[in-house]
């Protein structure tokens, strides 16, 4: 038996003791994606008819490479968080839910790593 009140035991923890951190991470990545997505869309629109050499030269700029890496990190992390919430809400079978969450996280990590590797290879490559 605890001497703490039920309110003091539950304060800031949520029902699963981790929901607030997940919620904040999703909101902060969404906030980071607003300017990064606008920059990415306008940059791609500006170079829409550029040839390969022009795009490689654009990616050789260190500011562009860093911005793209930040964009991909925020994008894939935000996407993984969102898909995890969808799986948790709509998959009833616990074993299937756990395996789907593991698969989603692995897939997002692999795709994010591949995107970042491609940016860095072009930025630092020949």
pLDDT digits (tens, 9 = 90+) for 67-111: 999 999 999 999 999 999 999 999 999 999 999 999 999 999 999
Residues 6+ apart with CB under 8 A from 72: 112, 115, 116, 119
Question: Could you confirm whether domain 22-124 is CATH 3.30.1950?
Answer: no
Is residue 9 pLDDT above 90, yes or no?
no
Report the distance separating Cα 94 and Cα 77, nearest Å.
Answer: 23
Write the pLDDT tens digit of every residue in 101-121.
999 999 999 999 999 999 999
Q: What residue spans define the domains of the chain?
A: 22-124
Is residue 12 pLDDT above 70, yes or no?
no
pTM of the complete model: 0.81
Q: What is the CA radius of gyration of the chain?
A: 20
């Amino acid at each position: 038996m605890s001497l703490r009140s039920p309110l003091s035991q539950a304060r800031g923890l949520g029902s699963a003791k981790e929901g607030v951190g997940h919620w904040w991470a999703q909101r902060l990545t969404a906030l980071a994606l607003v300017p990064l997505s606008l920059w990415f869309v306008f940059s791609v629109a500006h170079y829409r008819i550029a040839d390969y050499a022009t795009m490689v030269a654009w990616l050789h700029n260190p500011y562009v490479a860093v911005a793209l890496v930040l964009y991909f990190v925020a994008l894939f992390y935000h996407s993984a968080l969102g898909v995890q919430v969808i799986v948790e809400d709509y998959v009833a079978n616990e074993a299937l839910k756990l395996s789907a969450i593991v698969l989603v996280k692995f897939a997002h990590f692999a795709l994010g790593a591949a995107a970042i590797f491609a940016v860095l290879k072009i930025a630092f490559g020949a």
